[in-house]
Amino acid sequence: MKILAIHNFHRKGSASGDDQVFKSETALLESHGHTVIKYTVSNDEFDNAGVVGKIMSTFGMLWSFKHSNAVKRIIEKEKPDIVHVHTFFPLLSPSILYAVKRSGVPVVATLHDTRFVCPCSTSLRGTRLCNECGDGHYFRMCKYGCFKGSRLQSFLVAGIFKYHRIRKSFYKQIDKYICLNENQIKLLSDIGFDKKKIVKKYNFVPDVEANLKVVKIDELPNRYIVFYGRIGKEKGIRILMQIWNNPQMKDVPLVVMGGGPLEEEFKAWANNKGNVYFLGYTQHDKCLGIVKGGEFVVFPSIWYEGCSMVEIETESLGKALVATDLGFSVEAIQDGVNGYKVPLNDVDGFVDVILKLWKNSEQCKKIGENARKDYESKYLPEDNYNQLIAVYQSLK
């Protein structure tokens, strides 16, 4: 089979989940003998452009003739069997969907976030969950400056999505939607998407447990808890800080790895904590080796995780999860089996569960073993490949 895979990468150095999925999924297809043609852009192109280039790119977010024409030429030349679109915003624009659809090639789209419900993709207004724009009245974004805290940018993005809502671009130009969890399916169904066109498929990660060795770092204690991922508000970084501000946590070591917009704030806070070890951005294999040496992973995210790579990797390493009862975690975690779920923003609830696991090493180990079994039953590459090919074949 020949697949044209399309994706808008985040900025250089980003460890975003959709970037990881695009790379691993296309590699998986290639390893099974399929031909994968990749058409990608990066948000670095916008950052590095001059004033004129930035203006052109901004207008291109509504309709990019450049990218739609490029996709059309590739299809005419390569004649793919399937086009699989991952992230198209901001640079590729929805115009590529029209280019593919008009070519007669089936279009599959993986929904890595809630972009079709919330133009900002996060379903957050500040730190509060919000799906109000699912009704198509996007210009309320301007009042709150939802897009990057800017009313002007919110106005532009609202206009783009209003235009495509009127044209029903996301309803009519895609043949199959791959959702990552039941919550995504409900959000789409509630705003009129055809449930017959929706299929659920989790992400996957390679079996990192198989050959990975624990990474020991001299300055770290023998026992510790781990948070790793983006240091941003949506990942619950400020919740994490509140948890470890609790006096009951003063003797519980926390190791944190990652980078992001709240990095300096978090670093300043961590420097005043004798039991918090902030390692900043850590190379992926080394990061996982440190996770493997920890007791368990805490993940107090405040937004709808699609199919969190952090959570899947944690399970592959045989480690328990303590995560927010939201999004993917709702169906991924069974309390007391492979981890624990805590209500959104419940700092005291996190403290109680963390201390319970921390004080019971045997229980922690047993839950970690169950987590490993859960990974083997749901998130192995080969199983994922079979599911993906079944989606493709359903459209032939």
Q: 197 and 264 share a domain?
A: no
Q: 51 and 22 share a domain?
A: yes
Q: 81 and 230 share a domain?
A: no
Decide if 220 is inside a domain.
no
Please check whether residue 341 is in contact with residue 320, taking contact to mean a CB–CB distance below 8 angstroms: no
Decide if 157 is inside a domain.
no
Q: 259 and 309 share a domain?
A: yes
Q: 21 and 91 share a domain?
A: yes
Q: What confidence score (pLDDT) does residue 15 get?
A: 65
**Is it the case that residue 217 has pLDDT exceeding 90?**
yes
**Rounded CA separation 276/289 (Å):** 18
Q: 358 and 294 share a domain?
A: yes
Q: 244 and 99 share a domain?
A: no
**Rounded CA separation 293/225 (Å):** 9
Backbone angles phi, psi at 361, to 5 degrees: -60, -35
**Is it the case that residue 162 has pLDDT exceeding 90?**
yes
Q: 191 and 308 share a domain?
A: no
**Is it the case that residue 49 has pLDDT exceeding 80?**
no
Find the CATH number of the domain harbouring 252.
Answer: 3.40.50.2000
Q: 90 and 234 share a domain?
A: no
Decide if 164 is inside a domain.
no
Range of the domain at 246: 225-378
What average pLDDT does the chain have? 95
**Rounded CA separation 63/345 (Å):** 39
> Taking the complete model, does pTM exceed 0.75, yes or no?
yes
Residue matched to tokens 């899947």:
312
**Rounded CA separation 83/36 (Å):** 10
Decide if 155 is inside a domain.
no
Q: What is the pLDDT of residues 261-319, one digit of tens each?
A: 999 999 999 999 999 999 999 999 999 999 999 999 999 999 999 999 999 999 999 99
Ranges 11-25, 81-95, 255-269: which has the least confidence = 11-25
Decide if 385 is inside a domain.
yes
> What Cα–Cα distance (Å) separates residue 298 from each residue in 166, 320, 340?
42, 9, 10
Higher-pLDDT residue of 16, 201: 201
Decide if 66 is inside a domain.
yes
Q: What confidence score (pLDDT) does residue 13 get?
A: 59
Please check whether residue 232 is in contact with residue 261, taking contact to mean a CB–CB distance below 8 angstroms: yes
- What's the number of domains the chain is made of? 2
**Is it the case that residue 27 has pLDDT exceeding 80?**
yes
Q: 340 and 246 share a domain?
A: yes
Q: 200 and 269 share a domain?
A: no
Q: 108 and 248 share a domain?
A: no
Residue matched to tokens 């009704």:
135
**Rounded CA separation 183/328 (Å):** 7
Decide if 139 is inside a domain.
no
**Rounded CA separation 164/349 (Å):** 42
Q: What is the pLDDT of residues 195-214, one digit of tens each?
A: 999 999 999 999 977 779 99
**Rounded CA separation 330/52 (Å):** 45
Ranges 50-54, 132-136, 285-289, 295-299: which has the least confidence = 50-54
**Rounded CA separation 5/347 (Å):** 41
Decide if 241 is inside a domain.
yes
**Rounded CA separation 277/298 (Å):** 14
Q: What confidence score (pLDDT) does residue 14 get?
A: 62
Q: What is the pLDDT of residues 225-247, one digit of tens each?
A: 999 999 999 999 999 999 999 99
